[in-house]
Structure 1
């Protein structure tokens, strides 16, 4: 009787327990990777702050350019890139 129990427990754990464990943690991982409403609000605030700061820098550059004609502002600032954009310059 004991000779049949050990292989039965091993087979059960491999074919039932292991897939259940993997699928359990995969579903936990997928639900945890979503952005929370608090994080989304924080990102919106940071985006608005960055846009306002960029407007201020542009205003300062215009003022400096008006006061000092020899000063050349950076007319073509680099565009922000995301990790998903492909570099097509090469």
Structure 2
């Protein structure tokens, strides 16, 4: 029973609490700080580089083993 309540809390209550808590905190600031903007830009650039690397790896795998994606 306690296990079920714990799982229920984690699945239902915790996400709602987090959304409400951080939503309220976000409304207080209503804008990104310069540091936040810089971090977002760095993360965006990193994600673009990683996407390019994945595309390159897929091309290499397609060339070497056409059935790699079916595994």
TM-score after normalising by structure 1? 0.44
Q: Which runs of 5+ in 1 are unaligned?
A: 1-28, 74-90
Shift of 1:31: 6.4
> What is aligned with 2:22?
none
> What is aligned with 1:42?
39
Structure 2 counterparts to residues 57-68 of structure 1, below 5 A: 57-68=54-65
Q: Structure 1 residues 30 and 63, CA, compared in 2 at 3 Å: closer, same or farther? A: closer
1:7-64 deviations in Å (ceiling 9; x for gaps): xxxxxxxxxxxxxxxxxxxxxx866221111100000000000000000000000000
CA–CA distance in structure 2, aligned partners of residues 33 and 70 of structure 1: 49
Answer with 1 or 2: which has the greater Rg. 1
TM-score after normalising by structure 2? 0.54
Q: RMSD between aligned alpha carbons?
A: 2.1
| Matched position secondary structure for 1:54 | helix
In structure 1, which of residues 68, 71, 83 is the aligned counterpart of residue 68 of structure 2? 71
Structure 2 counterparts to residues 1-90 of structure 1, below 5 A: 32-72=29-69
